[in-house]
């Protein structure tokens, strides 16, 4: 195993709270280092969309677990972005609707779903070096990586960011739900560098992460 991954690959894990800038910064870091970018939240969104589309009750853990066992998926990497396809289709727009967003926390809290997701996310190593963002990357998906970062910002700052996107969400409630769930709760990974990016631009935050990664990489 190399510094952070398997089969010679390096994994940069970026975890954090909602609206802490995980996606934006992970994309910037991946582009700067020429690594593949993996948005694990999009994978959970894809499952939520699949359940809604097929009439699966997202509040019924057994029904959702059964859906995970039977859906036909595969991983794909286009322009450095790893995607989860369902029946060969990538529902890019569908997974960003308000209805899908509301269903995501319910499917994400199901232990069998997270087991399936962790296995699938670890399979992303086939695409080489990764920047993977989510809520349990450094704790459950790649706990062995040497490159762990945890992003956060003040509740007011994160709420403003969400509202700027046209989304009105109770982030304090979401934080509690993420941190108190039984399956892979949100927490700061052991050995992670914590970055509070309140008042920072995405470029400032990503440059900090990039500099730290480069400092730690073998010569």
107 and 178: one domain?
no
> Alpha-carbon distance 86 to 173, whole Å?
31
Mean pLDDT confidence for 19-37? 95
Confirm whether 185 is domain-assigned.
Answer: yes
30 Cβ contact partners less than 8 Å away, ≥ 6 residues apart: 36, 37, 80, 130, 131
Count of domains observed in the chain? 2
Closest CA to 83 of 116, 55, 123: 123
DSSP assignment of 140-162 equals IISTT-SEEEEEE--HHHHHHHH
Q: Considering 82, 104, 127, which residue would you say is the last residue of a domain?
A: 127
123 and 201: one domain?
no
The token pair at 138 is 């450094």
Question: Is 5's pLDDT higher than 50?
Answer: no
C-alpha 35 chain-centroid distance: 16
In angstroms, the Cα distances linking 16 to 13, 78, 109, 148 are 10, 25, 16, 11
Task: List phi, psi (to 5°) of 8.
Answer: 85, 0
Distance from first CA to last CA of the chain, Å, rounded? Answer: 17
Radius of gyration in angstroms for the set of CA atoms belonging to the chain, rounded to a whole number: 17
CATH number at residue 183: 3.40.50.300
For CA atoms 44, 158, 176, 170, give the dihedral sign.
negative
The percentage of residues in the chain with a pLDDT greater than 90, rounded to a whole number, is: 73
Confirm whether 88 is domain-assigned.
Answer: yes
Question: Is 194's pLDDT higher than 90?
Answer: yes
- Tens digit of each residue's pLDDT (9 = 90 or more) over 84-127: 999 999 999 999 998 998 899 899 999 999 999 999 999 999 99
Q: What is the pTM of this model?
A: 0.90
For residue 15, the enclosing domain spans 1-35+130-214
Confirm whether 219 is domain-assigned.
Answer: no
- Tens digit of each residue's pLDDT (9 = 90 or more) over 132-145: 999 999 999 999 99
Contact 193, 149 (CB under 8 A): yes
Confirm whether 58 is domain-assigned.
Answer: yes
Confirm whether 174 is domain-assigned.
Answer: yes
20 Cβ contact partners less than 8 Å away, ≥ 6 residues apart: 151, 152, 153, 158, 197
Question: Is 7's pLDDT higher than 60?
Answer: no
Question: Is 6's pLDDT higher than 50?
Answer: no
Residue that wins the pLDDT comparison between 7 and 88: 88
């Amino acid at each position: 195993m190399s510094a952070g991954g398997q089969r010679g690959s390096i994994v940069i894990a970026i975890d954090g709270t909602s609206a802490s800038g995980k996606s934006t910064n992970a994309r910037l870091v991946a582009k700067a280092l020429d690594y593949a970018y993996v948005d694990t939240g999009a994978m959970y969104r894809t499952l939520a969309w699949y359940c809604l589309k097929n009439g699966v009750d997202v509040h019924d853990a057994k029904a959702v677990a059964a859906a995970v066992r039977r859906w036909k998926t595969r991983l794909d990497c286009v322009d450095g972005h790893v995607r989860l396809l369902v029946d060969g289709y990538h529902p890019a727009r569908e997974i960003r609707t308000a209805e899908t967003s509301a269903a995501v926390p319910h499917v994400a809290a199901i232990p069998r779903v997270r087991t399936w997701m962790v296995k699938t996310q670890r399979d992303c190593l086939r695409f080489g070096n990764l920047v993977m963002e989510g809520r349990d990357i450094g704790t459950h998906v790649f706990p062995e990586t040497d490159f762990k970062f945890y992003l956060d910002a003040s509740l007011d700052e994160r709420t403003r960011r969400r509202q700027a996107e046209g989304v009105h969400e109770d982030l304090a409630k979401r934080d509690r739900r993420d941190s108190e769930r039984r399956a892979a709760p949100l927490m700061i990974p052991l050995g992670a560098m914590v970055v509070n990016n309140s008042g920072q631009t995405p470029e400032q935050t990503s440059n900090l992460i990039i500099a730290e990664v480069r400092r730690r990489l073998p010569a």
